[in-house]
Amino acid sequence: MSGGIVKANKQSSNDYLSLTDSSSLRSTFLRNLEQSPRVLGSTGSRLLSGSTPDHSALETRFQDFFDAPSALLFNSGWDANVSFFSTVPQPGDWVIYDELVHASVHSGLRASRVDNKRRIPFRHNDPEGLREVLKQIDGKGTVFLSVESLYSMDGDFAPLPALLDVLDEYVTRDRQCVVVDEAHSTGVYGEQGRGITHALDEQGRMAVRLMTFGKAVGSSGGTSHILTLLMKAVLLCPLTIRSFLINFARPFIFSTAISHTSLIALHSAFDLLQSQEGDQVSQNVVNRADNVAPHRPVLTHQAIPRPSRSHRQTHSGSCPPISQYSLG
Ligand SMILES: Cc1ncc(COP(=O)(O)O)c(C=O)c1O
């Protein structure tokens, strides 16, 4: 295969940063494996025997790195979305979602106790579409807004600031819970790959952020490298939501915890992302996206929709306290 074909393949695969081919990641990973007292397995579900100090250490690293109130690891982005949407929104709440959100959100909602009539899509990336939906809802219950920061099918950024402004017009902050899926921006956008909401300095405004590692971070996808065996994600959220998920989310409770091998792989990948090489590879992927579609240079850092100054000054986002949720 020519180099050009390989590049085109990478562009359309997961493994955006080609980390699965990185020799420095490979050697860091192998060295970390050698030095780690625990390497294989995890011995059980997080709720039983599967939570070790290594799991907590990686979650603390992500909590600090992504500037979040707490972090919870999942076996995949799919599991994280299904866990959240099937468990957290309660009867009487509203879930308003972009019509193009990922299938995992839909699967979570299908299992949720929120009435079908209270789960409403709005036109893709359209603040006026969101307005039309918000006009229909009553003044009771938490309003969950589910969006992605960057959509993969069309390669377009969400107009996050405009969507949040519309949400503010119709729903008071104490009833809002904004959930943003950063699957396609993790590791690529924002400082050292912290994502688009971090680049916008809006991480405090998003109650919940999903960062997945099966794409840019090389924990799965792409080539037949050892890291393709792994596939993980972290949900960044308030502590109450974290505890709630640990105790009620079925995909979390009834699944074996992430293995130590995966934890070591993720530490290694983030060691790289937080290095000069990491800056280079994420810049490369943005440049390459522009080369692939020069007539449509929508994926540059400058193209991310920015918030207005007034919007920035008023942010303070979090989900309503979990005590408001009825578990009946
Ligand atoms: C927007 C979005 N969310 C979640 C997921 C699921 O992530 P994972 O592949 O880690 O299960 C994907 C995967 O395609 C995705 O594109």
Give yes or no for a contact between 144 and 122, defined as CB atoms under 8 angstroms apart: no
Of 161-175, 220-234, 297-311, give the lowest mean pLDDT range: 220-234
- Under the banding of pLDDT at 50, 70 and 90, the label for residue 228 is very low
Extended beta strands in the chain, E state:
71-74, 94-98, 119-122, 143-148, 150-151, 156-157, 176-181, 208-212, 233-236
- Specify the pLDDT at position 80: 97
Of 37-41, 47-51, 265-269, 286-290, give the lowest mean pLDDT range: 286-290
Query: In angstroms, rounded to a whole number, what is the distance separating the alpha carbons of residues 327 and 94?
Result: 16
In short, whether 54's Cβ falls inside 6 Å of ligand 1 is no
- Residue 211: name the closest of 20, 57, 61 by CA: 61
Query: In angstroms, rounded to a whole number, what is the distance separating the alpha carbons of residues 179 and 193?
Result: 18
- Under the banding of pLDDT at 50, 70 and 90, the label for residue 43 is confident
- Under the banding of pLDDT at 50, 70 and 90, the label for residue 152 is confident
Total Cβ atoms within 10 A of residue 174:
11
Give yes or no for a contact between 234 and 71, defined as CB atoms under 8 angstroms apart: yes
- Under the banding of pLDDT at 50, 70 and 90, the label for residue 117 is very high
- Specify the pLDDT at position 28: 86
Q: Which residue has the higher pLDDT, 326 or 124?
A: 124
Contacts (Cβ under 8 Å, ≥6 apart) of 297: 290, 303
- Res 204 pLDDT > 90: no
In angstroms, what is the span from residue 84 Cα to ligand 1's centroid? 14
Chain centroid to CA 37: how far? 30
In short, whether 212's Cβ falls inside 6 Å of ligand 1 is yes
In short, whether 219's Cβ falls inside 6 Å of ligand 1 is no
Mutate which of 75, 102, 180, 232 to test ligand 1's pocket (most atoms within 8 Å of Cβ)?
102
In short, whether 77's Cβ falls inside 6 Å of ligand 1 is yes
In short, whether 232's Cβ falls inside 6 Å of ligand 1 is no
In angstroms, what is the span from residue 300 Cα to ligand 1's centroid? 22
What is the mean predicted confidence (pLDDT) over 304-322?
Answer: 59
The length of the chain is: 328
- Specify the pLDDT at position 181: 97
Give yes or no for a contact between 274 and 266, defined as CB atoms under 8 angstroms apart: no
Name the pTM for this structure: 0.86
Tell me what the pLDDT averaged over the chain comes to: 83
What is the mean predicted confidence (pLDDT) over 65-89?
Answer: 96
- Under the banding of pLDDT at 50, 70 and 90, the label for residue 295 is low
| Ligand 1 atom nearest 231 alpha carbon | 10
- Res 59 pLDDT > 60: yes
- Pairing mode, strands 208-212 and 176-181: parallel
SS3 assignment, position 53: helix
- Under the banding of pLDDT at 50, 70 and 90, the label for residue 286 is low
In angstroms, what is the span from residue 310 Cα to ligand 1's centroid? 33
Chain centroid to CA 149: how far? 9
Give kind and range of the element (H or E) at residue 284. helix 276-292
| Ligand 1 atom nearest 232 alpha carbon | 10
- Res 326 pLDDT > 50: no
- Specify the pLDDT at position 322: 54
Mutate which of 78, 82, 185 to test ligand 1's pocket (most atoms within 8 Å of Cβ)?
78
Q: What is the CATH number of domain 3-320?
A: 3.40.640.10
What is the mean predicted confidence (pLDDT) over 152-172?
Answer: 93
In angstroms, what is the span from residue 169 Cα to ligand 1's centroid? 30
Max mean pLDDT among 32-41, 92-101, 187-196, 286-295 falls in 92-101
